[in-house]
Chains A and B, each alone.
Chain A
Amino acid sequence: MKDMLHMGLFLFVIAAVAGVLLAYTESVTAPLILENQRKAEELARREVLPNAEKFNESQFTDTVASQTYSYSTGLTGNGEIAGVVVKVAPKGYAGPIEMVVGIDKTGKINGYKILAQKETPGLGTKLSEPVFAEPFKKLISEKATPVLLVKKDGGDVDGITAATISSRAFCKGVNEALDLFKKVQPQLTAIPQALPLPATPADTASQTSITGGNQ
């Protein structure tokens, strides 16, 4: 009986010490980790929409399908809408391909960035490499209304050899982003009036909260 008490007490002490140590570590690292995530997101957004200086989290509710989508609106230095950044995750060959697509205010694709993927190394993963990215960039800058399907399916996109599924998934993702853009386009022009510069966090009109920015 005394033995049991001793063991229980010992476990308790160890657990308490562990808890305190972890709580301390957490309190030190949690803000840094959040900051890292924010920075990574900010970086990705800037990359796909370079002429935006500030991003606002926005939401769009499709009343017909009763679904809510999130996107972020990019604003230029003087508060004009630069475009939107949409996060999509089309299903690739071996799981979802998480990516962000930047679309400027005219509905033209500005850039994309793959955030996470599980495609076959060296084949599907080429989506994030210049081999695929450069021709795609060229396509969207040269052609006004490119058909965003792989060439095999009658589109304009140069798919990756031996990774058709990944390439198709990519096109699907980009098209999803464009569809969402078309839906939110009317809403876009309404937002900036509600958001005077410089924006403050208190400014949360119309489901819009401010994150990031150039502090």
Chain B
Amino acid sequence: MSASIISIFIVAIFIENFVLNQILGLCPFIGVSNKIDSAVGMGLAVTFVMVMAGVATWSIQAFLLIPLQLEYLQTISFILVIASLVQFVEMVIRKTAPALYQSLGVFLPLITTNCAVLGVALLNIKKNYGLVESAVNSFGGGLGFFFALIIMAGIRERLDVSEIPEAMRGAPIAFVTAGLLATAFMGFSGLV
């Protein structure tokens, strides 16, 4: 039992990394990976929201949708739960860490439309995970996102000072870099 939990965790971080393997959550990945500081903040916020969303959506599925046979309301109820959670996290961060709030700026509300969050919720259900497994998978997924974001930010800070052809500057070179990173992460499959 515990071994399978650990393997879910490792798989979620390295093998099925949301950004680099599943290709989910790219908007913030490209948008916020300019600076390491904001990358850390965004990564933490996403991880937090993902765990909360994973647990909340699993509970909704198990205790509301399945007993009432309303599975077809899955997408709509999940997205509403996630939207409210994000609103909540935004309020908490604004009150407790105004500096962080300023640097994350517009990207916080964008977590709602971060497909990694809805993605993890849907995958938990699709893979028939229980509550603990869902929470672990969501946490691992969030950490994987966090790592990918920070590695990317580190590289992009270097890219800023290098000479890059005009047309490649900004997003294009970021995507090519992400491609190389994803290739590196492919080395992890077969780990578990």
The answer to whether B189 touches A93, judged by C-beta atoms less than 8 angstroms apart, is yes
The answer to whether B72 touches A165, judged by C-beta atoms less than 8 angstroms apart, is no
The answer to whether B189 touches A19, judged by C-beta atoms less than 8 angstroms apart, is no
- B167 at interface, CB cutoff 8 A: no
Q: How far is the CA of A198 from the CA of B52 in the complex (A)?
A: 53
Q: Which residues of B contact A120 (CB under 8 A)?
A: 189
- B15 at interface, CB cutoff 8 A: yes
The answer to whether B72 touches A94, judged by C-beta atoms less than 8 angstroms apart, is no
- Chain B 1-30 interface mask (CB, 8 Å, partner A; 1/0): 000000000000001000000000000000
List residues 1-43 of chain A with CB under 8 A from any CB of chain B: 18-19, 22-23, 25-26, 30
The answer to whether B76 touches A94, judged by C-beta atoms less than 8 angstroms apart, is no
**One of B15, B72, B189 near A25 (C-beta < 8 A):** B72
Known: A93-B189, A93-B190, A94-B190. A18 touches B72 (CB 8 A): no
The answer to whether A26 touches B72, judged by C-beta atoms less than 8 angstroms apart, is yes
The answer to whether B73 touches A94, judged by C-beta atoms less than 8 angstroms apart, is no
Beta-carbon nearest neighbor of A25 in chain B? B72
**One of A19, A23, A94, A165 near B15 (C-beta < 8 A):** A94
Among A25, A30, A94, A120, the most chain B Cβ lie within 10 Å of the Cβ of: A94
A interface residues, tally (CB under 8 Å): 11
Q: Which residues of B contact A22 (CB under 8 A)?
A: 72-73, 76
Q: Which residues of B contact A25 (CB under 8 A)?
A: 72
Q: How far is the CA of A25 from the CA of B75 in the complex (A)?
A: 14
Beta-carbon nearest neighbor of A94 in chain B? B189
Beta-carbon nearest neighbor of B21 in chain A? A94
**One of A19, A30, A93 near B73 (C-beta < 8 A):** A19
- Chain B 152-192 interface mask (CB, 8 Å, partner A; 1/0): 00000000000000000000000000000000000001100
Q: How far is the CA of A94 from the CA of B21 in the complex (A)?
A: 11
Q: How far is the CA of A12 from the CA of B72 in the complex (A)?
A: 18
List residues 160-174 of chain A with CB under 8 A from any CB of chain B: 165
Q: Which residues of B contact A19 (CB under 8 A)?
A: 73
Residues of A within 8 A of B (CB): 18-19, 22-23, 25-26, 30, 93-94, 120, 165
The 5 closest A-B CB pairs, nearest first, are A26-B72, A94-B189, A93-B190, A22-B72, A165-B190
Residues of B within 8 A of A (CB): 15, 72-73, 76, 189-190
Interface pairs (7), CB distance under 8 Å: A22-B73, A22-B76, A25-B72, A26-B72, A94-B189, A94-B190, A120-B189
